Structure 1
Amino acid sequence: MKFKTTALVALVAIAGAGALAWQSLDKETRGFLAAFPTNTDLLFWSTSQRDAAFRALDRLPFLAKHRVVPAGATPSALPPGPPLPLPLDVDAYMQAQRSAALMVVHNGQVRLERYGLDFDSQGRWTSFSVAKSFTSTLVGAAVRDGHIKSMDDKVSDYIQEMKGSAYDDVSIRQLLTMTSGVAWNEDYGDPQSDVAQFNNHKPEAGVDALVSYMRQLPRAVPAGTRWLYSTGETNLVGVLLSRATQKPLSVYLSEKIWVPAGMEQQATWILSKTGQEISGCCIQAATRDFARFGQFILNGAVVNGQSTVPEGWLTEATTARTGINTPGRGYGYQWWTYDDGTFAARGIFGQGIFIDPVRQLVIASNANWGTSASDPADSAAREAFYQAVQKAVDEEAATAKGR
């Protein structure tokens, strides 16, 4: 995503205000300003620029506007449990991953919680595509609330400007599973890709910027016949949700997840140039609250006996609705799925929430992978860490059973 370059004006203003103004800024914001990128395209910032920026996007209004997601008065408990014995050097793993935060919650207890990159439990780190799984859950809430009549409703039923486009006959279900068949390029290393370019698009007068860009895309294959990862389509889901609920996504997120799930801190959600939450990206939250979201999903999105989503919907969302050309893996409703029943939310540069219902396990991580946005080696190392945690939980259970 792109951010405005008026930050240079802010830098001048801060310098002119002198040392007192500089010292009044928190250390994350000072770190960002010290490493301010001259290229405002986040996908092509340096590692040190990302280190500073990922924790401060919502505190630098000259970069991007945001809305606050209010928390409730009573946080849900995350009690400490005994340290989980892991067959690996966690510090070395975190250093290799360039981890800002790593949490393991097992049976509702925190078994591991560590921080890096000078980040801590009070800071907010940006989610990137982990936000997609939040957006998916809000679709379930909108179905339960009657704002969306059916998952098989067409996109153009809710976004009239999509009539006549390649999305005219695409269903909400196909948007969530990324099987629309519409052309899209998600290459993070290509400055000319759709994911790099759509925020630069100049919209037609009176049309949402994203809608204006997406409705010009051509059809590549028939809807429902191919899976293709597309952040643009999740962003389109967000526009649809706002139209259906007649509420900003940040308000609906607070009402349906942030307050009921007992998040400890407020979150923020970055806005597009036309004032719409970027629903495929960019929720800033504390790592403990990302873990709470995982626990909320693990508990079936039920709080005090009240379900946020329709019966059976969450099972559909977190099991494979389509293949992704990777053995043992699939894609649900904005969740990455595994054939063993586990599933995950993932964001570029190492953000993630892994959920294992059988073992009652949630692993939340924030990072800034130093090589690329989606490095295969870093991703494989994270998968190996998930497996190591699962093995440790199994061995602990076997030892307890044998006593």
Structure 2
Amino acid sequence: MTPPDAPSSKSPAAPVPLPASSAPATPVQTAPVPAAPVPGAPILTAGEQGLMQGFPPPPDKIPGPSNWDMPPFNRWSFLNMRSLFPTADVERGTMPVRALPLALRDVNPITFTALSGQQQSVKDWLDTSYTDGFLVMSRGRVVHESYHNDMEPRTPHLSQSVAKSVVGTLAGVLHGEGILDLDTPLTVLIPELEKSGYAGATVRHVLDMTSGARFTEDYGTPGSDMTRIDVASGWRPPEPGEPVPTIRDVIVTLPQERPHGESFKYRSIETDVTAWALERAANQSLSSLLSDRIWSRIGAERDGYFTVDRAGTALADGGFNATMRDYARFGLMMLEGGAYNGTQIVPEEWVRASATGDHAAYGDPYTLTSPNGAYSRQWWIHDVARGDFMARGVFGQLIYLDPKTEFMAVKMSTWPDFLIHSYTVDMLSAVTAIRDAMSPA
């Protein structure tokens, strides 16, 4: 999941509270305080920290329900989500694996100006930004591929809000098939929303995150809507004695706080509402839809998977997992206009629309990261004039696409906090520096 592009209000060393139920006033316990990274200290892998090592591992080296996504445990958890949560497969099908041709170049010496004002090399950035994997492609060929923190080419990695862009792309496929009309009121597909804040909103509103529904995107805050979804999805434990809702139980309780279509406001729940609409429109689960319409058609090497709640509902806004190479294959399909192997998988018009947005609806705090940015159909647009766009997730997940230079960068990370503003800015500065070095003006 990706929060707004503002500097994080949480310090990496802040206590991580256990989530509350929907009643904000309920007292909560707090998890152990994660250790803040020491500037200049070596960044250790999960194995070097002894996480999940031994038979059995020591109790203090096992991630728990309230700390699995915080340091140091996320260095292991994001690469092993299936060991922690129930999941639903997104099958790769029987298509031959898409080859990723090599044209290796040394990107390590390339430099960029970090947010601090200092010059930094790509190598130093990779070494200090909690990298799990990094892959760069230029004009259809891999120029760099490296793995860190015990990750391997066959390791699925949690995508966080990269999943949103995957779900938004799936909506484009159903739209192209005539199954999904963007101007359909959500309540036509989902009558359960009639008394919620989504009454009067359309599919287009949730795709572009311009509905007027309230959703507090506050991570780790007791009683916030985000925490309620974490509890519902199984990503956080409930308060003792409190009932556990499903993801959709939470959705129907959200009120309206502003007019629909007014402006962009990032809210993870919009993707979950989108996914609900897709399932109703196609009468098929999100995981099987994604398999049938996209994952089985792009030459993926391995099955992907979603984490699911107790009702089997996929966490559409951040629960998708896949290998880095398969994220690259998905990105390549988008970079190539939605087509692969002679088949148009996603309508080309939808791909163009995902890279074209209304900058006027895109204000503070999002402009802190992308001053000329926008948001469209579950994709972030970095610069509306250039048309480069990206899928991004908290803790440092990225698929960056630049059609102008046929360039793509994929990064999997385990940052020590949900959002670290300088890390986000430096990540985009690094990949655009590599892009420019691959295709000098």
Name the TM-score, length of structure 2 as normaliser.
0.77
Q: Distance in 1 between matches of 2:352 and 2:332?
A: 15
Q: Distance in 2 between matches of 1:324 and 1:29?
A: 43
Letter in 2 for 1:65: P
Aligned match of 2:86:
65
Q: 1:55 aligns with which of 68, 79, 91?
A: 79
Q: 1:196 aligns with which of 227, 233, 252?
A: 227
Map Cα deviations across residues 91-111 of structure 1 (whole Å, 9 max, x no partner). 321121100000001111100
Residues 33 and 365 of structure 1: CA distance in aligned 2, closer, same or farther (over 3 Å)? farther
1:358 aligns with 2:404: yes
Shift in Å, 1:76: 0.9
Letter in 1 for 2:196: S
Q: Distance in 2 between matches of 1:115 and 1:310?
A: 33
Letter in 1 for 2:110: P
Residues 197 and 208 of structure 1: CA distance in aligned 2, closer, same or farther (over 3 Å)? closer
1:125 aligns with 2:125: no
Aligned match of 2:420:
375
Q: Distance in 2 between matches of 1:179 and 1:211?
A: 19
1:77 aligns with 2:114: no
Q: Distance in 1 between matches of 2:178 and 2:439?
A: 41
Aligned match of 1:221:
258
Q: 1:112 aligns with which of 102, 119, 144?
A: 144
SS of residue matched to 1:178: coil
Q: Distance in 1 between matches of 2:106 and 2:64?
A: 43
Shift in Å, 1:143: 1.2
- Contact 2:228-2:250 within 8 A present in 1 as well: no
Q: 1:346 aligns with which of 388, 392, 401?
A: 392
Residues 41 and 320 of structure 1: CA distance in aligned 2, closer, same or farther (over 3 Å)? farther
Aligned match of 1:332:
376
Q: Distance in 2 between matches of 1:155 and 1:243?
A: 10
- Contact 1:298-1:360 within 8 A present in 2 as well: yes
Residues 30 and 244 of structure 1: CA distance in aligned 2, closer, same or farther (over 3 Å)? farther
SS of residue matched to 1:47: coil
SS of residue matched to 1:314: helix
Q: Kindly, what percent of the aligned residue pairs are identical?
A: 28
Runs (4+) off by over 4 Å: 27-34
Q: Distance in 2 between matches of 1:200 and 1:28?
A: 24
Shift in Å, 1:368: 0.7
Aligned match of 2:116:
none
| Larger RCO (CA under 8 A, 6+ residues apart) | 2
Unaligned stretches of 5+ residues in structure 2: 2-17, 20-49, 112-120, 233-237, 239-243
SS of residue matched to 2:213: coil
Name the TM-score, length of structure 1 as normaliser.
0.84
SS of residue matched to 1:346: strand
- Contact 1:155-1:162 within 8 A present in 2 as well: yes
Shift in Å, 1:303: 2.4
Q: 1:87 aligns with which of 92, 102, 110?
A: 110
Letter in 2 for 1:80: L
How big is the alpha-carbon RMSD for the aligned residues of Structure 1 and Structure 2?
2.4
1:99 aligns with 2:131: yes
User: How many pairs does the alignment contain?
Assistant: 362
Shift in Å, 1:69: 1.5
Map Cα deviations across residues 216-271 of structure 1 (whole Å, 9 max, x no partner). 22211100112211111111111111111111211111122112110111111111
Aligned match of 1:12:
none
Map Cα deviations across residues 149-179 of structure 1 (whole Å, 9 max, x no partner). x111111111110113221211111101111
SS of residue matched to 1:358: helix
Residues 250 and 33 of structure 1: CA distance in aligned 2, closer, same or farther (over 3 Å)? farther
- Contact 1:181-1:227 within 8 A present in 2 as well: no
Residues 286 and 209 of structure 1: CA distance in aligned 2, closer, same or farther (over 3 Å)? same
Q: Distance in 1 between matches of 2:285 and 2:98?
A: 25
SS of residue matched to 2:161: helix
1:165 aligns with 2:187: no
Shift in Å, 1:192: 3.0
Q: Distance in 1 between matches of 2:274 and 2:53?
A: 35
Q: Distance in 1 between matches of 2:143 and 2:255?
A: 48
Shift in Å, 1:30: 4.6
More deviation, 180-189/329-338: 180-189
Letter in 1 for 2:62: F
Q: Distance in 2 between matches of 1:186 and 1:210?
A: 15
SS of residue matched to 1:352: strand
Q: 2:339 aligns with which of 294, 299, 302?
A: 302
1:37 aligns with 2:63: yes
- Contact 2:131-2:414 within 8 A present in 1 as well: yes
SS of residue matched to 2:399: strand
Q: Distance in 1 between matches of 2:104 and 2:261?
A: 47
SS of residue matched to 1:169: coil
Shift in Å, 1:189: 4.5
Q: Distance in 1 between matches of 2:298 and 2:407?
A: 17
- Contact 1:186-1:230 within 8 A present in 2 as well: yes
Shift in Å, 1:341: 0.8
More deviation, 352-361/263-272: 263-272
Residues 374 and 66 of structure 1: CA distance in aligned 2, closer, same or farther (over 3 Å)? same
Aligned match of 2:216:
185
SS of residue matched to 1:175: helix
Unaligned stretches of 5+ residues in structure 1: 4-26, 399-403
Q: Distance in 2 between matches of 1:87 and 1:110?
A: 16
- Contact 1:28-1:55 within 8 A present in 2 as well: no
Q: Distance in 2 between matches of 1:378 and 1:108?
A: 27
